[in-house]
Structure formats: structure tokens, C-alpha cells
Amino acid sequence: MLRGLLALLCALAGATAAWAQGYPNHPVKVIVPYGVGGPADIFGREIAARLQDALGQAFVVEDRPGGGSIVGTDIVAKSPADGYTLLMMSNTHTVNETLTPNKPFALMRDFAPIATVNYSDLILVIHPSVPAKNLREFIAYAKANPGKLNYASSGTATPYHMAGEMFKALAGVDIVHIPHKGSDQARTAILGGQVQMMFDAVPTMAANARAGKVIALGTSGAKRSPVTPDVPTVAEAGVPGYETTIWLGMMAPAGTPRPVLDKLNAEVNKIINSPQVRENWAKRGAYPLSMSVDAFDKFLRADIEKWAKVVKMSGAKVD
């Protein structure tokens, strides 16, 4: 009986591997649970287009923002585990494991890791109407006006939200969080002066800072961004110990066959490690983040623990 069971398992494994070799044989949907124009949307479309070229099937991107990524993510969680509905995700998802525990899914239970994509530093910007020319002046102004300044994010638990909460905790300032449905709306709010401050990804905000539409006070990495070499890091400019990034990855519904995950992982890693992509992304302030499926699984679990500590330290709450 044992021999028969082993033979059956081997046959099933062989059938799954053979099926995966023919994957994909019809269009694949990539859900981006954020708004148009943000890093996940921009880089998600780049990855989808290159996967389409590599695998010979359409990879169709759908932006489904809302609920700090929960709306679009839940769509993927409820989709068939066949590799034809994928999730473009970020550290919003690892934050949400602590910040929003009552959501309709659990990341490591309902999803399977595929691949990491890239990471970017964030840039802290203020509207030109704020009477501050550098970070120390801004912190002094915020301390003199507690609760009177607002900062925009693309939604609760997003990297922009958590960057703001970490900043508030370490700088000792009281600035009100104003969540938006997507980073495009948050960006519009800071550019229009409806809010006074925002953390945004370097690739999507640096051009506005160079054009003088906002004032850049600091970047969030451990060292200055090559895209904005004249802008100090937040730690360098007056908040010691401050460091955070936004990273992107791809996942699939739990139960997706491992050969499909491995195939997608291999293709994504080929894409992000190609000299053309690396050079193009570096000019924009984004850097490839290359991992195996198993390494990404460990990375996710560690990031969930990391952000649980940050949520506790900052006192961040769902708005």
C-alpha cells in the first residue's frame, strides 16, 4: 500500500510539473491593490510587460485600490490557486498583519510567495507654503504647532503612512495623518497644498522636488539617494536612527503549484537582474531585490515581525 501511495504521489508531482511547463496558456491577471501612478502600479506594469514578452501570454494589470491595499488583496485571496491571478504587493502587507488584524485574509496563510521585485528610498517633502527650509526648521515649526499640520499617505498601513508615524515618534512631533485612496491622490494633495507633508517614493516624487513644486527635506535610506544627492538623509538632517524603505514583491493564492511559483520566480529574477532594467531603475532610485521563493518566505516573516515592533513603538492606529 505504501509503495502504491508513493507511486501515486510521484505521478501527481509529475503531472503538476508537466502542467507547469505549459504555463501560462491563457492571459494572467496581475492585481495591484493601490492607485494609478504609484510604485506598485508603475513597476507592476513593467514587470507584467516583460513577463508577457518572456512567456508569450498577456499579463494584464488591474489597479484595485482601497482599504490600505485590503480590497485588491482580498480579490486575489479568493481567486483560484492556478497561477492566473497574481498580487503585486509591498511592505504595506507585512504592516497590515499587525495594524489590521481583523482583515479577511492572513498573508502567510492565504498567499504563496513568488518573488521580490525592488526597493526604493522614500523622500520627505513639504509644501512650499510651510515656513521651513530644512528638516530641523520643520521639526521646530511642527513642535510649535502641535496637531495643526497634516501629512498625506496612500492609505493606512502603507509605507508612506508608517514612514510618517515613525518620523513622528522619533522626532517627537504631533502631525495628523490624512489617508488617501491611492498615492496619486496623496501626491495631488501635497502638490496642491491641502496637506503640508508627505513621504513618497523617490522614483515618483523626485521630479516634483527638482521642479520646486515641493521642498525635499530628507530621504529615508541609510545613505543619500544618488537621484537626489543634495538631499540629506532624514537621520543626517536631524532625526538620528531614522531609516525605512518601500519594497515590492509578487504573491499568488495559497495552494498555487510550486512549479508555477518557481517558474515565475525565475522569470522575474531574470528581468530584474538584466543590465538594462538595473540601469534604468537606478536612474529613478529603485534597486532590484532578488530572492528565491523560500528566501522570500523568510523575508516576509521577518518583515512582519519588524513592523509589529514599529507599530507598537509608534502607536500607529487604523484611521
Superfamily name and number for 25-119+246-314 = Bordetella uptake gene, domain 1 (3.40.190.150)
The pLDDT, as a whole number, for residue 221 is 95
- pTM, rounded to two decimals: 0.88
The pLDDT, as a whole number, for residue 134 is 97
Superfamily name and number for 121-237 = Periplasmic binding protein-like II (3.40.190.10)
* Common-topology check for domains 25-119+246-314 and 121-237: yes
Residues 20-29, mean pLDDT to the nearest whole number: 92
SS (H, E, C) the chain: CHHHHHHHHHHHHHHHHHHHHCCCCCCEEEEECCCCCCHHHHHHHHHHHHHHHHHCCCEEEEECCCCCCHHHHHHHHCCCCCCCEEEEEEHHHHHHHHHCCCCCCCHHHHEEEEEEEEEEEEEEEECCCCCCCCHHHHHHHHHHCCCCEEEEECCCCCHHHHHHHHHHHHHCCCEEEEECCCHHHHHHHHHHCCCCEEEEEHHHHHHHHHCCCCEEEEECCCCCCCCCCCCCEHHHHCCCCCCCEEEEEEEEECCCCHHHHHHHHHHHHHHHCCHHHHHHHHHHCEEECCCCHHHHHHHHHHHHHHHHHHHHHHCCCCC
Task: Domain ranges for the chain, please list them.
Answer: 25-119+246-314, 121-237
Say if residue 13's pLDDT is above 80.
no
pLDDT band at 317 (very low <50, low <70, confident <90, very high): confident
